[in-house]
Amino acid sequence: MSSGRGGKRIGAGRPVGARNHYNAAVAELLQKRVNELGHEDYDPVIAMAEIALNDEYPIELRFKAHAEVAQYVRTKCRQPATQETVAVQLSPDARRRRIRELTDAVGL
């Protein structure tokens, strides 16, 4: 039984998707510097996409840019689920019979 203490509480913690103070400060400094350079509409994801699609850049750089951009537009592929194996307990005689069956099946 639970005493009603602990666990997730409604309204507790930072909202999903909210930035922490450090990330918000870095984003603000970056935007300020970008504006100073005269690129108010700068978006790093768009910039990486432009590099990825520009044939003038080396293929290695373009490949890395494609990989970075892909993280923002596609979900990562999951590894296929693996089946768990269950150990079967056999008696020594049953184990010998099974080994004999398997070796006979492959011609040993």
Is 84 domain-assigned?
no
DSSP symbols for 48-81:
HHHHHH-TTS-HHHHHHHHHHHHHHHSPPPPPPP
In this predicted structure, what is the pLDDT of residue 3?
58
Is 95 domain-assigned?
no
Q: Which range marks the domain in which residue 53 is found?
A: 41-76
Is 50 domain-assigned?
yes
Q: What is the mean pLDDT of residues 17-30?
A: 84
The residue with greater pLDDT, 7 or 56, is 56
Is 54 domain-assigned?
yes
Is 82 domain-assigned?
no
Is 63 domain-assigned?
yes
- 59-88 b/e with 16+ CB inside 10 Å = b? eeebeebeeebeeeeeeeeeeeeeeeeeee
Is 59 domain-assigned?
yes
Confidence band for 57, pLDDT divided at 50, 70 and 90: very high
Is 85 domain-assigned?
no
Overall number of domains in the chain: 1
